[in-house]
Structure formats: C-alpha cells, structure tokens
C-alpha cells in the first residue's frame, strides 16, 4: 500500500524518476532491507538527525535533477559528529548548486554509514527490454559500474533456483566466496533480495527501471544503501 501511494504521488507531480528516499520506501514496502534515510532541510536538521541516528552517518544531496550524486559532490561518507554534519550540509548544497546550476535541491538526506569491513558492492536492477518486458539484472556495483560492465540477466518471475543461477552467471560471483582473507558473504541475503525484486516487478506494472546500486553485502547480510527507480 505504501508503494502504491508513493507511485501515485510521484505520477501526480508529473515525475518519472523517484528520489533515493522514495525509491528506498518502495523497496522497504517489499521487505528489501534499506538503510534508514531521512531528509534534512537545513544544516541544523542534518546535525539533529545525525545525532538521533548515531554517528557515523552519510549525507547525500536530495534533488530530482541529480542522477549520479557523487559526480556533483553530492555524497559525504563517514560524517563523524554534529558539527561535521552541519558543515557537510552547507558545503554540499553550495557545491551541487555550483556544479549543476538550476538543479532543484530539496535538502540533504541522512543515513547510517554501513561499516562492512570487507563488504562487496553489488548492483541489482531492472531494465525494460522491448520484446521481453522487465528483466532482472545482477552484477558488480559501486560508482565505477560503467567501467566494470558486469550484468547477468534473468526474466521474472524468479524462484530460488533461478536467483542462484543469476548470481552464478555474474562475474562478481567470483568475489562472493572467501576472498582475500574476507569470509564468504551471505548469498542467501542476495537471493532473498532478488526474489523480492521479482515480486515487485510482478506487483508493479508501472516499474520501468530500477538500480539498487550498491547493495552492500558481507558475511552477516545485505542492505541497499542507494536506489533509483523509474516509473511510467
Ligand atoms: P550515487 O548517486 O553517486 O550512485 P551513492 O548513494 O551510490 O551515490 O553513493 C556513492 C557510494 O558511496 C556508493 O557506491 C557506496 O560505496 C558509498 N555509500 C553510499 N551510501 C553509503 C552508506 N550508507 N554506507 C556506506 N557506504 C555508502
Ligand atoms: Mg549509487
């Protein structure tokens, strides 16, 4: 129900691209684990939210006009205390306004910093392909995703067998086992996310594109720290 309300509101505003917060709300509605993400509209609010969540936190620009936040200096990782949060807010809003003049800025989102010591960054997505309709993708994630170009694909609906096979067909599968001294990741957590993405695709015909990039996974579990959904 939360998912439907988000979609209705976004379409009523004649938008197609959901913000990170809206996208994560949709994911949470389908029980996909996400980092709790709240919007600060001032430097003072960023400080208060960070204090309530507990440091370290991550600050990110919240703008319907910014697709790749780190490209415009719109991501501040590992913010350690209230005065850093306040400064990071002010610096970020100024930087983004300078690098992308005219971008509408709602404020800055605040979320806990995920401290997975040897976490692997995964991209789980949905693309809509002309003859097939929505296709589910799995591969390496992070900000250098375009360079890595690792995208295994499978048509929904997925079952556990298909989800496992999709993971196995990606190149990033190689680093999901024991890797450079880091323990093997909880692959079941990734399978679970894939099954829930499959449910989303089947339940929401409006969903056209989705990028959960990255999902951070380690031996304890997996969590989505960024997401971008396009609807129609
Ligand atoms: P972009 O819009 O540039 O894709 P992201 O939200 O994906 O911005 O952030 C860029 C990078 O910062 C991610 O690939 C990830 O490595 C790191 N990151 C983002 N959010 C968190 C978080 N909550 N905890 C830890 N690392 C994060
Ligand atoms: Mg991202």
The ligand whose atoms approach the alpha carbon of 211 most closely is 2
Q: What is the mean pLDDT of the chain?
A: 96
**What is the rounded CA–CA span in Å between residue 39 and residue 42?**
9
ipTM of the complex: 0.99
The ligand whose atoms approach the alpha carbon of 124 most closely is 2
β-sheet with 38-40: strand ranges across: 38-40, 107-112, 57-62, 75-79
Q: What is the pLDDT of residues 172-231, one digit of tens each?
A: 999 999 999 999 999 999 999 999 999 999 999 999 999 999 999 999 999 999 999 999
**What's the 228 CA to ligand 2 centre distance in angstroms?**
8
Question: What does the buried/exposed string (b/e) look like for 192-217 if buried means 16 or more CB atoms within 10 Å of the residue's CB?
Answer: bbbbbbbbbbeebeebbbbbbbbbbb
**What's the 155 CA to ligand 2 centre distance in angstroms?**
23
**What is the rounded CA–CA span in Å between residue 230 and residue 209?**
5
- Partnered with residue 212 across adjacent β-strands are 124
**What's the 225 CA to ligand 1 centre distance in angstroms?**
6
**What's the 27 CA to ligand 2 centre distance in angstroms?**
15
Q: What does the pLDDT read at residue 74?
A: 98
**What's the 168 CA to ligand 2 centre distance in angstroms?**
23
Q: Is 86 exposed, middle or buried (0-12, 13-18, 19+ CB in 10 A)?
A: buried
Q: How far is CA 71 from CA 38, 62, 65, 86, 134, in A?
A: 21, 14, 13, 21, 28
Q: What does the pLDDT read at residue 151?
A: 94
Angle at 103 between CA 97 and CA 109, to 5 degrees: 80
Residue 64 has pLDDT above 90, yes or no: yes
The token pair that represents 133 in the structure block:
């309709």
What is the arithmetic mean of pLDDT over 43-57?
98
Contacts of 29 (CB under 8 A, 6+ apart): 1, 2, 3, 6
Atom of ligand 1 nearest to the CA of 66: 2
| Domains observed in the chain | 38-112 (3.30.1490.20), 116-231 (3.30.470.20)
CB 19 within 8 A of CB 64: yes
Pocket of ligand 1 (CB under 6 A): 35, 58, 60, 68-70, 75, 77, 111, 113-114, 121, 142-143, 213-214, 225-226
């Amino acid at each position: 129900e939360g998912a439907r309300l988000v979609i209705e509101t976004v379409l009523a505003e004649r938008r197609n691209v959901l913000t990170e917060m809206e996208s994560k709300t949709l994911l949470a509605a389908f029980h996909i684990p996400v980092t709790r993400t709240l919007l600060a509209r001032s430097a003072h609010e960023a400080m208060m939210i960070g204090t309530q969540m507990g440091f370290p936190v991550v600050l990110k620009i919240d703008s319907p006009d910014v697709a790749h936040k780190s490209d415009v200096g719109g991501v501040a990782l590992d913010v350690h205390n209230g005065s850093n949060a306040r400064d990071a807010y002010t610096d970020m809003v100024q930087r983004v306004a300078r690098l992308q003049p005219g971008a509408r800025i709602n404020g800055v989102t605040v979320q806990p910093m995920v401290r997975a010591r040897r976490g692997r960054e995964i991209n789980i997505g949905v693309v809509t392909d002309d003859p097939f309709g929505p296709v589910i993708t799995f591969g390496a994630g992070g900000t250098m995703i375009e360079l890595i170009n690792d995208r295994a694909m499978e048509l929904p609906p997925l079952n556990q067998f298909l989800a496992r096979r999709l993971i196995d067909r990606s190149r990033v599968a190689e680093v999901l086992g024991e890797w450079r001294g880091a323990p093997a990741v909880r692959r079941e957590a990734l399978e679970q996310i894939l099954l829930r993405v499959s449910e989303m695709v089947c339940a929401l015909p409006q969903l056209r594109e989705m990028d959960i990039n990255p999902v951070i996974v380690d031996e304890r579990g997996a969590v989505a720290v960024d997401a971008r959904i396009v609807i129609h």
